[in-house]
Structure 1
Amino acid sequence: MALLQFKKKTTETGPKPVNPAVEAFLDGYSIEVMPRTAEKIEDFRDLLPAGTRVYVAHIEGTPIDDMVATAKRLAAEGFRVMPHFPARIIKDAATLNDWISRYQGEAGVDQALLLAGGVDKPHGDFHSSMQLLETGLFDKAGFTRLHVAGHPEGNKDIDPDGSDKNVMDAVRWKQSFNERTDADMALATQFCFEAAPVIKWADALKDAGVDLPIHIGVAGPAKLQTLIKFSIACGVGASLRVLQKRAKDVTKLLLPFEPDQFITDLAEHKAAHPDFNIERVHFFPLGGIKTNANWAIENGGSSALPANQQ
């Protein structure tokens, strides 16, 4: 269902067509950084739209001091900061409360992404995002937005047999939590590469009575080898075949893989079905923050105009 009406965007290489469906779909996109990758960016206002939600990923072993410092820096530049709270690396409720207090007191943070975390053995009392929610500490601190993980292609850590039963049970629990609390919640997903399975999954959630907004994970432009490596490590499912097919084409093997087709397919589906429950795009800048932001600028029109150019 190609959209034929395009606006023009001037770039260094000349006019580039901007698909209006993509422009609308990228409005309010978010992006993920880590303290060590954020350090490489002199000023995020040169790359991201004002008020962009920036997730700060908490990798095992990263000191909380570095996490809070990154959050503070991003907040000072005018961005909405959403730090990760990986349950399995949080020792106990006292540690969780300390992290919440520090993010709030030092960086003005009032939102969080809660997830189990990519650690096999919990470091302490928590092993799931649901346990973090049940502490009531985020509500007590006045956090207004809480995102939780979504898995369009399943999660073998939770369902080794591939049944997706436990994943669906967890999503229903999160839906129930959203309904009985004042939390403003959404599902932030792992990155995928093929639109059809994502659309099928989103529709299945709606049919199951789950109406949490979906923020779909998208891998930013990167070398094909880099994307395959991260995809395997992160458990990307059937849509990995898109990369595997690309790898067989020697003429494209050394070219960066960009998310043009994936985002266009989802954007045009959204344009044709306004009630489609994918609300936002969330970028994983696997090929670098600057590379990802520049791709968004070139393809997102007014939706991706950096703060310093607005």
Structure 2
Amino acid sequence: SSEAGVNQGLILAGGVDQPVGEFHSSMQLLETGIFDRAGFKRLHVAGHPEGNRDIDPDGSDKNVMDALRWKQKFSETTDAKIAMATQFCFEAQPVIEWANALKAAGVDIPIHIGIAGPAKLQTLIKFAIACGVGPSLRVLQKRAMDVTKLVLPYEPNEILEELAAHKAANPDFNIEQVHFFPLGGIKTNAEWAIKNGGDAATPVNQA
């Protein structure tokens, strides 16, 4: 990392049925200590506000929560700052309930909430299904039923406004940043973020 100037990493296990190589989880990779030795200053791990069927096929959150408790302990022993970058979703209330449940379980890794950037509705539905987005997919399905909105691009104003209002009323709410998935294009996402105050009001990432 010193040669390339890279000091942050997003550590994901992926969603393949059979592991490729020696590692089958992101935790195994973290356990090697390679990121500490390489001087990484920030590491991002995965978060799943609506669960993950690859990790918990039965629809529970047992394995996901076990992994997050492990990552919480890891965050307390590494010099790198740890944050949780999440899957994108479309409803604020499930995110709020999930973040509060994590905190109640002793997991206080800062959350970088995944938000789908502006895009055509058909594009978002395609990506949401492919990525295993959970019940909040109904927001897009409901929108698709409204012919007056069908041809208009989706914009994440509603979910972000609700999360921002909750954060303002609850300063200890554990969402620290917004992590955009620019599914409609990076330029489109950047222009939307600037227009809506994301450049000054809230730290954002695009990936």
Give me the TM-score of the superposition, normalised by structure 1: 0.63
Deviation (angstroms), 1:118: 3.0
Distance 1:200 1:148 in 2: 20
Identity of aligned residues (%): 78
Q: Quote the offset at 1:301 in angstroms.
A: 6.1
Question: Would you say the 8 A contact 2:47–2:87 is kept in 1?
Answer: yes
Aligned to 2:3: 105
SS state of the match for residue 178, structure 2? Answer: strand
- State the alpha-carbon separation in 1 of the partners of residues 57 and 131 from structure 2: 14
**Counterpart secondary structure, 1:303:** coil
| Alignment partner, residue 181 of structure 1 | 78
Letter in 1 for 2:2: Q
Q: Secondary structure at the match of 1:279?
A: strand
* Aligned counterparts of 2:121 and 2:25: Cα–Cα separation in 1: 32
1:252 matched to 2:149? The reply is yes
The AA in structure 2 aligned to 1:250 is V
Change (3 A) 1:302 1:142: closer
**Amino acid of the structure 1 residue aligned with 2:87:** Q
> What residue ranges of structure 1 are gaps of 5+ in the alignment?
1-102, 305-310
C-alpha distance in structure 2 between counterparts of 1:180 and 1:104, whole Å: 22
Question: What corresponds to 1:198 in structure 2?
Answer: 95
Aligned length: 201
Q: Distance in 1 between matches of 2:198 and 2:32?
A: 42
**Counterpart of 2:200 in 1: which secondary structure?**
helix
Distance 2:199 2:24 in 1: 41
Q: Return the alpha-carbon distance in structure 2 between the equivalents of residues 197 and 104 of structure 1.
A: 40
| 1:302 shift after superposition | 5.2
Matches within 5 A, 1:129-148: 129-148=26-45
> For structure 2, which runs of at least 5 residues remain unmatched after alignment?
202-207
1:126 is the counterpart of 2:126: no
Alpha-carbon separation, structure 2, partners of 1:131 and 1:211: 21
State the distance in 1 between where 2:148 and 2:62 align: 41
The residue matched to 2:83 in structure 1 has which SS?
strand
Q: Which shifted more, 121-130 or 196-205? A: 121-130
Distance 1:230 1:278 in 2: 24
Aligned to 1:155: 52
1:265 partnered with 2:162: yes
| CA displacement 1:57-98 (0-9 Å, x = unmatched) | xxxxxxxxxxxxxxxxxxxxxxxxxxxxxxxxxxxxxxxxxx
Q: Which has the larger radius of gyration?
A: 1
User: What TM-score comes out, normalization by structure 2 length?
Assistant: 0.94
Matched, 1:214 2:111: yes
Q: Partners of 2:75 and 2:20 in 1: how far apart?
A: 27
Letter in 1 for 2:187: K
User: What is the SS of the residue equivalent to 1:209?
Assistant: coil
Aligned pairs (5 A) from 1:1-310 = 103-106=1-4, 108-300=5-197, 303=200
Change (3 A) 1:302 1:110: closer
Distance 1:295 1:141 in 2: 36
Question: Take 1:189 and 1:203, find their aligned partners in 2: how far apart are those partners?
Answer: 15
CA shift, 1:104, in A, is 3.5
Question: Does 1 or 2 have the higher relative contact order (CA < 8 Å, sep 6+)?
Answer: 1
SS state of the match for residue 108, structure 2? coil
Tell me: CA distance 1:163–1:301, structure 2 relative to 1, closer, same or farther (3 Å): closer
